[in-house]
Structure formats: structure tokens, C-alpha cells
Amino acid sequence: MAMLLLVGSAVTVQAIDPAAAAETTLRAAAAKAGLFFGVAASPGRLSSIVGQEFNQLTPENDMKPATIATSSGGLQNTGSADTLVNYAQTNNMLVRGHTLVWHSQAGALQGASQGTLNTFIGNAINRWGSRIAYWDVVNEALDDNNTGRRRTQWPHSLSRDANGDGDYFDAGDTDVIRDSFIRAKQVVQAGGLSTKLCINDYDVDGLTVSGGTPNRKANALYDIVRTYRQYIDCVGFQAHFNDNPNSIITNDLQANIQRFADLGVEVHLTELDIDDDLSNNDIGAGQAENYRKVVRACLNVARCTGITVWGIADSESWRSSERGLLFTGGGGNYQKKAAYHAVLDELNKGRDVSTDPTSPGTPTATPSVPPTTPPVTPSVPPTTPPNPTTPPATGCSATVSLNSWTGGFVATVRVTAGAAPINGWSVQLTLPSGAAVTNAWNANRSGSSGTVRFSNVSYNGRVNAGQSTEFGFQGTGAATGLTPVCTAS
């Protein structure tokens, strides 16, 4: 049964038809709600449950530099990663590449220069191309203990804070995060890849941590994403929840997801596990209830487009003593926990984006949480133009990139002004039969199937000559062969 789109005067509520039969796997329920539900795995854990229950896969260890990088930035030992990518493709699962630039498990790359990191970034992205939907380009860049500072060990020691003001955003600064993303973006654009580029970290989940203290680590991540937005497509909250005061579940998880989503990036919960005796938390008691609330926080933000659990069963988890996952058992023989049933039930209820200002039908607003530092344009521009297509002499052009899974997709549309600035735009495209748009961001929308039209919202109509802006939409069904037509006003 199809989703219902209930349009009120000021809100749009997207819910699953209550009369519809509930889906019986996580992946089917997630696809119907318009997001992916994934798992971290290694080749030894590819039992049939992986493809049955999940539609996204993250190699738990097999794409880390320690496994695949040579000291000169080349590739080695890619067999296990290939096995996982092939499995994902056979089972219609998206792949998250994990990870390119990380202080841990760096192997032969440990201590490498930015130039060598860039070589590795290019080799790794190009090896799997668009078969990788999302790459964690930079992992865990921020310090522990809620300081809000960057890490200082390699590779962050490659960065230079020229004026000592505590950030790496000024002219004269160098920043391994910025430079790694610039390189990754160049590679994606040069190859015409649909791969999206993410930054990933832990203890960044809520606006606050224990005791209502501001989450400075989350704020620092927010500043990075806002400053380097032109290179960053997605943000991963690892979401390892436990009793550490900085790792608890807080009531402002959804608000934090929302403020990142308001920047126009996709948000994912990338490594979810929840300590089963998590008593120190704001939002619930039992593990199943905690899972329910975390999944709900994502479902209530249109641009929260995926959740990945960090393993299948408790016994096989990196934190087995916390029993933080959705299954018991092991070795391919798994039993569903109460937490599994809670997640499935919550996914089956679908999204409720009535409080999401970026969802259709609600007034589009600027981010409700003010940035903690003024936006700064990165001082080193990319060495390739942001759009690989040649803009027309006047007017505008549009290109679309897709991330698809069985039963659903997310499309990102880039609108580029021609030789003259434009003050407004509209993009029309025709969806194949069976496909339907469920929500959109950074654009007004008319229509949901067949020919659909998108137009600028208040803050992105003006596009300078040769510059670009992006909007996105999410849908059900398969969206192939989209040809966007852009009209400037």
C-alpha cells in the first residue's frame, strides 16, 4: 500500500497507511519510510540475514587504511572489501566506505603527508566508484571529553592554525579536513560519480550531553560542516550510546539532527548500538524503548536518510558486554530481541516530518540553532570548478545524482547559473512510472509522480553567474533516467 500524504494548512505529515500490512523486515520497513537501514559486517559474517534484513552495508574493518593502504597511498589487500561490495550489489544494498582519513587503524599510512593522503583518497574512491554510495572521508577528527577541539595527533598534526585562534578556517591556516574533502570532491566530480562524501564522529548526537552541558563536540562538527559545506554531502553520527556522560541519549537528539539537516546535508546514524543497561539517559529506560526513540528522532527529520547498526548480534559486537544490538545468537544463527521488534514497529509507522521546517508544506526557515562562529569561506578553493558540466550562456542548467536502494532513492539536483546571475529558478523532471516523491528540501515542489516541478525557496533563488545551488528529494520506487530541465527567472 502506498504512503498517505496528509497536507494540512501548515504542516505535511507523511505516515504509513494504517490499513497497510506491516513490513516484516527492517529493510522493507525502512524503504517504505524512505531511508536505508544498514549493518556493519565483515566477510565472515555474511549470513543470509544480512541481505534479508538490511539494505545498506558498512565494512566494519575491511576498508580501513590499515587493511588497504600502502605507504605511498596505493591500494593493497582489497579482496575482503571487494567481497563486501559484491555482496551488497547482489543483495541491492548501498555501501558506505569506511574510512579514508583516520588517526586510528592507519597502518602504512600512519604519519603520511597530505599529498600521500590525497593519493590514497583518489585511489580508494576510484577503485569502487559509484558502487560506494557514501564514503566516510574523515573519521573522528574531534577530541574526546567534550572539549570541542580537534585532535592533535596525526593526521590532524598536518593542520596549522596560523593565527592561533583555535580554528583552522582562516586565510593562512591549513586543515587536513578541508584538504581531504577538497581532494575527495575533485575525484568524485572528475569521475562523474554519485558517491556522497561524509564526515563521521562519535559523541556528537545531542545538542547537549549529560547534565544539560552543551555538546561542544557536536558544535565543533557543526562549524566544520557549515564552513566546508560545498565539499561535504553528509554527516554521520556514530550513535554509540552508553553510560559515559558524553555518550548518553538526550531528548535533543532530534533537534541536533535537524540543525545539521538544515545545512542541506544528509544525516545518518552510522554505527548505532545502545548499551542494554543504559540507565543514565534522558529519554527512556529499557533498550527497546531507547532504540524506538532514536529511530523516531531520525524518522522525524526528512533529511535523516539512513541508520546503520554496528553489527548483527550482541556476541559479535565490538562491545559485546553491553549487549547493544538487535539480535542474540551468533555464527549465522540469530534470534530477534525486543529491540529488533521495537525498531521494526517504529519504521513501520513511517515518518512524521510535521516539525521539520525543510519538509514540504512547512515554511522554509533558516537554521533554528544559530551557528557558533560566523561562516567563513574556505581559503583554498577547489582546483576544479564545482560543476563538471559547462553552464549555458544564460539561464540555468541542472544535473541530478541518485542514491538508490530497492524501493527507494534520494536525488540531489544541482542548479547552475549561466553567464549571468539568476534571481529564481525552477526545475522540471519526469519520474518513471511507479516512482513517487515523498519529500523534498531546499525547494518548493508541485506534483509527486509523473512530471514534478521544483522551484527555489526564499534563500536559494539568487545564484551568481557560473555558481551552483543544490536541492534534494526523496522518493519511493525506482528513479532512473531523470533529465532535469532548468528555467531561470
Active-site residue list: 140, 271
Judged by CB under 6 A, does residue 244 bind ligand 9MR?
no
Report the nearest approach of ligand 9MR to the CB of residue 61 (Å). 5
201 interacts with ligand 9MR by CB under 6 A: no
Does 330 bind ligand 9MR (CB under 6 A)? Our answer is: no
428 binds ligand 9MR (CB under 6 A): no
Interaction of residue 467 with ligand 9MR, rule CB under 6 A: no
238 binds ligand 9MR (CB under 6 A): yes
Q: Per CB under 6 A, does 275 bind ligand 9MR?
A: no
Give yes or no for residue 61 binding ligand 9MR (CB under 6 A).
yes
**Of 140 and 262, which CB lies nearer to ligand 9MR in the complex structure?**
140
Q: Which is nearer to ligand 9MR, 268 or 292 (CB)?
A: 268
Q: How many residues bind ligand 9MR (CB under 6 A)?
A: 7
Least distance (Å) between residue 142 CB and ligand 9MR:
13
Per-residue burial over 14-50, b = 16 or more CB atoms within 10 Å of its CB, e = otherwise: bbbeeeeeebebbbbbbbbbbbbbbbbbeeebbeebb
Instruction: Report residue 471 as a C-alpha cell.
Output: 536541492
For the segment 67-106, give every residue that binds ligand 9MR (CB under 6 A).
104-105
Give the whole-angstrom CA distance, residue 290 versus residue 284.
6
271 is a site residue for ligand 9MR (CB under 6 A): yes
Q: How far is the CB of 173 from ligand 9MR (least distance, A)?
A: 26
Q: In the 8-state DSSP scheme, what is residue 240? A: E
Of 368, 370, 374, nearest to 255 by C-alpha is 368
* Cα 386 to chain centroid, rounded: 20
Q: Does 379 help bind ligand 9MR (rule: CB under 6 A)?
A: no
Give the residue with the Cβ less far from ligand 9MR, 210 or 238: 238
The answer to the question of residue 316 lying near ligand 9MR (CB under 6 A) is: no
| Rounded distance between C-alpha atoms, residue 298 and residue 268, angstroms | 8
- 153 lines the binding site for ligand 9MR (CB under 6 A): no
Whole-number minimum distance, CB 308 to ligand 9MR, in Å? 11
* Closer residue to ligand 9MR (CB): 67 or 438: 67
Compute the CA torsion angle 298, 301, 306, 312 (nearest 10 deg): 10
* Least Cβ distance, residue 266 to ligand 9MR (angstroms): 19
Amino acid identity of 262? D
Query: Are 35 and 18 a contacting pair, CB within 8 Å?
Result: no
Give least dist CB 58 to ligand 9MR, A.
9
Nearer to ligand 9MR, 61 or 230 (CB): 61
Phi-psi region of 194 (alpha: psi -120 to 50; beta: other; left: phi over 0): alpha
324 within 8 A of 337, measured Cβ to Cβ: no
Q: Does residue 389 contact residue 416 with C-beta atoms inside 8 Å?
A: yes
205 binds ligand 9MR (CB under 6 A): no
- In 277-402, where does DSSP find H-type helix? 287-299, 338-349
Q: Which residue in the set 74, 280, 286, 318 belongs to the binding site for ligand 9MR (CB under 6 A)?
A: 318
Residue 246 Cβ vs ligand 9MR, minimum distance, rounded to whole Å: 14
Peptide bond into 155 cis (omega under 30): yes
Among 23, 53, 60, 356, the residue binding ligand 9MR under the rule CB under 6 A is 60
Cα–Cα distances in Å, from 218 out to 153, 174, 206, 280? 20, 22, 7, 19
Nearer to ligand 9MR, 60 or 314 (CB): 60
| Shortest distance (Å) from residue 60 CB to ligand 9MR | 5
Q: Are 205 and 250 in contact (CB under 8 A)?
A: yes
Q: What angle do CA 396, 386, 98 make, to 5 degrees?
A: 130
> Which C-beta is closer to ligand 9MR: that of 100 or that of 440?
100
Closest residue (Cβ) to ligand 9MR?
Answer: 318
Q: Give the Å distances, CA to CA, from 338 to 206, 259, 277, 308, 313.
A: 25, 31, 14, 18, 13
107 binds ligand 9MR (CB under 6 A): no
Inter-residue contact 234 to 197 (CB < 8 Å): yes
Q: Does residue 250 belong to the site contacting ligand 9MR (CB under 6 A)?
A: no
154 binds ligand 9MR per the rule CB under 6 A: no
Q: Which residues bind ligand 9MR (CB under 6 A)?
A: 60-61, 104-105, 238, 271, 318
